[in-house]
Amino acid sequence: MSNGYQSRRYIDQGVTVPASTTQEVAQGAINDDMKLFLSVTAYLGAVTGTPTFQLQTQAEYRIWRTIKSSPAAVVSTDTTVTVTLPSTLTAASHGYTAGQMVTINSSGTVPGGLLPGSRYFVAAPTTNTFMLSLMPSTTPAPVQFSDAGSGTITVTAAQAVVLLVNNATADSSVLPMDPRFRINGVCTGGQSMQFIGLSVGHQY
């Protein structure tokens, strides 16, 4: 037996789950390769409070039931940045690492070439500066900004929450019978949560 992720499927949803709601953020089918372990990783952008997300399966395409639920249990911290064209962001002692997933927003407009709330990856970080790329890579191509944007520009580190369902133990009676799954974001009270990406696959 080896350890590793296989057949990984990435879903860049960019879904914001409002406060006091349950909202489906992804749906798919469980195939034979996913029956030993089914893992779902949710990459979260803006988060307040401790909302949760659920992995549900559907028995014979009829009844949805929750087989795993996990609290996000994170509060995002925004980092205010300044922009230097063509592609550099500056924030003192930002702490970001190469390949780390982040989102960017602004009280005005984000730098030209970026989309507010979308997923990016830190590239070429130094102590006080970094760039953004569209994909994680050992040799990333930084996004070139067409303008510096306006207002207060903030970068938020994406938080990862993982659901891993082990078919060999507690869930052995659930997964093989249920051909479909879905992931829900669940928010209560004054909480909100933004899903900026999901990956679904299996581990063996």
3 state DSSP class of 135 = coil
Burial class (CB in 10 A: 0-12, 13-18, 19+), 138: exposed
Position 88 scores a pLDDT of 97
Mention every residue, 6+ apart, whose C-beta is less than 8 A from residue 137.
99, 121, 123
Taking domain 11-74+159-203, whether its CATH number is 2.60.120.380 is answered by: yes
- Per the listing, tokens 């709601």 go with 21
pTM of the model: 0.66
Position 60 scores a pLDDT of 64
**Cβ(30)–Cβ(180) below 8 Å:** yes
- CA atoms of 175 and 163, how far apart (whole Å): 14
Q: Taking the domain 78-157, which CATH number applies?
A: 2.40.30
Position 32 scores a pLDDT of 64
Position 126 scores a pLDDT of 96
- Per the listing, tokens 């057949």 go with 7
Report which of 133, 154, 158 is spatially closest to residue 143, judged by C-alpha positions: 133
Report which of 134, 96, 101 is spatially closest to residue 115, judged by C-alpha positions: 134
Written as six digits, the tokens of 168 are: 């060999």
- CA atoms of 21 and 17, how far apart (whole Å): 7
Q: For 137, what's the count of Cα atoms within 13 Å in the CB-facing half-sphere?
A: 10
Position 125 scores a pLDDT of 94
Q: List, run by run, the mean pLDDT of 10-residue segments along the chain (204 residues).
A: 39 72 80 66 73 78 79 70 97 91 90 88 94 85 96 87 62 57 81 74 53
- CA atoms of 62 and 123, how far apart (whole Å): 45
- Per the listing, tokens 């102590």 go with 127
Cα dist. 20→1, 81, 183, 189 in Å?
43, 31, 17, 5
Position 170 scores a pLDDT of 44
Position 124 scores a pLDDT of 94
Q: Where in the chain is the domain with CATH 2.60.120.380?
A: 11-74+159-203
Mention every residue, 6+ apart, whose C-beta is less than 8 A from residue 75.
47, 48, 49
The full 3-state SS of 16-38, as one line of letters, equals: EECCCCEEEEEEEECCHHHCCEE
Q: Where in the chain is the domain with CATH 2.40.30?
A: 78-157
